[in-house]
Amino acid sequence: MPHIHDKIDFTSEVFIVYKNKVLLRKHDKYKIWLSIGGHIELDEDPIEAAEREVLEEVGLKIEIHDSLLKYRGSREGYIELIPPRFMNRHRINENHEHISLVYFARSDSDNVKVSGDDISNVWKWFDHDELDDKEYGINDNVKFYARRALDELFTD
């Protein structure tokens, strides 16, 4: 998707856990392992973007982990949003940056369905030990988030 703003875009990214594994995809352009996610469109909030991106990219329905949400009230025209577990700002190129809202989520399935429209069709469910495998060359920040997601959401 093209950038929404000239200088900085906001993105949602999701570390999805199924049992004892976390899902990562190899970015088609940058050739690095990342979580699932993408730009937050102008007509959606970060949670809607996270759920949409996951469904579009890997065909999974998720439940976003909400341990940080302290107030759960809602009324017409008002809803509490699940806070991200982490946030970061990173450079895409010399003229553009992303501010990324990082979420953790569970899926009740590991059956990834990559659509024909999605350019990136390389993905893998990683267990804790595989994250350190030098064959994959996963960046430290991605390993950190992936491990935290596994530590918080792993179920037998």
70-129 tens-digit pLDDT: 888 888 989 889 999 999 999 988 999 999 999 999 999 999 998 766 556 799 999 999
114: nearest Cα among 105, 106, 123: 123
Q: What topology does CATH give the domain 8-110+121-153? A: Nucleoside Triphosphate Pyrophosphohydrolase (3.90.79)
In the structure encoding, which two tokens stand for residue 127, read together?
């267990």
Contact criterion met (CB below 8 Å) for 45 and 135? no
Q: Record the pTM.
A: 0.92
Tokens 């899902």 sit on residue: 23
Q: What is the pLDDT of residue 74?
A: 80
In the structure encoding, which two tokens stand for residue 120, read together?
């990136």
In the structure encoding, which two tokens stand for residue 46, read together?
């970060």
In the structure encoding, which two tokens stand for residue 59, read together?
């065909």
